[in-house]
Amino acid sequence: MSTKKAIHYLILIAIIATTYVFPAPEGLTNIGWHLAGIYIATIIAIILKAFPLPVILLAGVSLASIAIGIAPDEQWFDNEAQKAVDVALKEKDVLNGYKSSTTWLVFAAFAMSTAFVATGLGKRIAYLLIGKLGSTTLRLGYVNACLDLLISPAMPSVTARAGGIIFPIMNSVAVSLGSEPDTSPRKAGRYLLLNTYMVVKATGYFFITAMAPNMLAMELIGKVYGKSHPFLLDWGQWFYAASIPGLICLFLTPLVVYVLCPPELKKLDNKAIAKKGLEELGPMTIREKTLLGLFILAVVSWALGKYIGIKEASTTAISIMTLLVILGVLAWDDLLKNKGAWNTLVWYGGLLGLSGVLEKAHFFDWLSATMQANLNFGGIDSTIATIIILFMSVAVRYLFASGGAYIAAMVPVFAAVGLAAGADPTLLALGLLFSNCYGGALTHYGSGPAPVIYGAGYNDIKSWWIVGAVFAFGNLLIHVTIGFAWWKALVGMGVL
């Protein structure tokens, strides 16, 4: 074991041990204090990358179950309220995250993501769009945006979208145009690949199924808000909220990247590129046609679910996943080989389970009350307070190389701080949900596809960080102006 690893282990052990050595803060139950130590240690382990993410969450789930199981006898409790919390908590409660419909919605949606890559349908749509629209480098940037917007409802993995479908196409297009990473990155490759990443960070918050952590963030905010401010969106409500500010941001993205990183090559032979790509794919297969039909069925069902009696989006996702196998679009072995889906299932359910027992132990109630008692916003306007918190939520992303780690560590805190400041709960929640995605554009390590795209060698750190800052804080500006107005209108119409 290296010295670095040993130090990491000691830090994690010390965090958990602290909650057993020192008494719980006033107002927090003993079991809530112990579970908080495990939760914080889990987050730190994710940030330190002590182990693979699923292993970290399994360890957290195990330790939380043990902590609940060995909770002390009643004489250890300060009052009957603390005793009641302990009695209400069961070891198996930590596993509730794995039976959550949210967890299974994300997992099942990965099946369609796998199908888009395996059948080649994603690439076919891309080459068709290139042939129709991509006659200039800028228009090719918009082809990228259109493609990502089209397939994002059924692909919760931004890494699969950007890294598995769009990146290989744009990389090969750059090479075919004579743009090499070592000798001529500015000819076309720098723009095309940097735009690929910024676009996926603009579409990731468009749909609740467009990025795996979206629903996790919403669940955590809901737990912090509790019964005082219930917050839960269905697929359609999420889309309505994201649509207006999202469309504006997506429309501006290729243009902004083009201005900041202008390619030397302005025009290209898109017909030849599309023809070559489509010839390599061959005629459209039955599997692709079937997938296209199921994809349309899924989106319609998600959008109209509550009107046709399908209230849970996970019902549609699991049904489509099953049909993909039954109709021969995918083999079950294809799903078994999708490590991203299974890894997400493990860490996602684990994180929901940990947050669930923290909620039962009234940790989030205590956190909100403590924030309210100790933070003084000096009578600042609630809208200004919301904007400040959202600015902080974007800026802090410079410190995180994982969207999952950011959500687990910071979303509950920002939600609690916002409530303490008297922020509008709906504006705050939507702002946090969407900034989680576009905030990841700041750096070349901000989320899964970033290292893949940066690793191609076309982009330098300086240009990436400049474009990322303009993109992220530009999105923030649009969301706290046009977005706030749109969300208030939706609330007024009873949509939210």
d(CA 457, CA 464): 12
Is residue 331 in a domain?
yes
Is residue 74 in a domain?
yes
For residues 212 and 304, state if they share a domain: yes
pLDDT (0 to 100) of residue 249:
95
pLDDT band at 375 (very low <50, low <70, confident <90, very high): low
H-state helical runs in 421-460: 425-438, 449-454
Q: What is the pLDDT of residues 392-412, one digit of tens each?
A: 889 888 877 667 778 877 888
CA 280 to chain centre: 33
Tokens of 283: 């005629």
Percent of the chain whose predicted confidence (pLDDT) is above 90: 19
Out of 104-108, 255-259, 299-303, give the one with best mean pLDDT. Answer: 255-259
pLDDT (0 to 100) of residue 451:
77
- Domain count along the chain: 2
Please name the helix (run of DSSP H) or strand (run of DSSP E) that holds residue 8, with its range, or none.
helix 3-21
The residue out of 320, 340, 360 marking a domain boundary is 340
Is residue 224 in a domain?
no
The residue out of 340, 362, 389 marking a domain boundary is 340
For residues 210 and 71, state if they share a domain: no
Q: What is the pLDDT of residues 199-236, one digit of tens each?
A: 999 999 998 888 878 888 898 888 888 777 778 888 88
For residues 169 and 266, state if they share a domain: yes
First to last CA, the chain: 52
Structural domain including 23 reads: 1-82
For residues 13 and 139, state if they share a domain: no
For residues 78 and 126, state if they share a domain: no
Cβ-proximal residues to 491 (8 Å cutoff; 6+ apart), any chain: 426
CA 126 to chain centre: 24
Tokens of 153: 């409802």
For residues 207 and 306, state if they share a domain: yes
Is residue 146 in a domain?
yes
pLDDT at 78 > cutoff 60:
no
Tokens of 429: 């929640």
Q: What is the pLDDT of residues 426-440, one digit of tens each?
A: 999 999 999 988 998
pLDDT band at 74 (very low <50, low <70, confident <90, very high): very low
For residues 108 and 73, state if they share a domain: no
The residue out of 314, 340, 366 marking a domain boundary is 340
For residues 164 and 273, state if they share a domain: yes
Three-state DSSP at 207 gives coil
Is residue 413 in a domain?
no
For residues 115 and 171, state if they share a domain: yes
Burial level of 73, CB count in 10 A (0-12/13-18/19+)? Answer: exposed
For residues 119 and 160, state if they share a domain: yes
For residues 67 and 107, state if they share a domain: no
Q: In this structure, are residues 479 and 435 in contact, taking their beta carbons and an 8 Å threshold?
A: yes
Is residue 345 in a domain?
no
* DSSP-assigned beta bridge partners for residue 267: 136
Q: How many helices (H) and strands (E) does the chain have?
A: 24, 0
pLDDT (0 to 100) of residue 1:
61
pLDDT at 243 > cutoff 80:
yes
Residues 323-338: what's their mean pLDDT? 87
Find, among 157, 155, 158, 132, the residue nearest to 143 by Cα: 132
Is residue 446 in a domain?
no
Q: What is the pLDDT of residues 3-37, one digit of tens each?
A: 878 888 888 899 999 988 888 888 888 888 899 89
For residues 197 and 335, state if they share a domain: yes
* DSSP-assigned beta bridge partners for residue 136: 267
Residues 269-295: what's their mean pLDDT? 87
Q: In this structure, are residues 174 and 186 in contact, taking their beta carbons and an 8 Å threshold?
A: no
pLDDT (0 to 100) of residue 77:
47
Is residue 353 in a domain?
no
Percent of the chain whose predicted confidence (pLDDT) is above 70: 93
Find, among 286, 268, 370, the residue nearest to 327 by Cα: 286
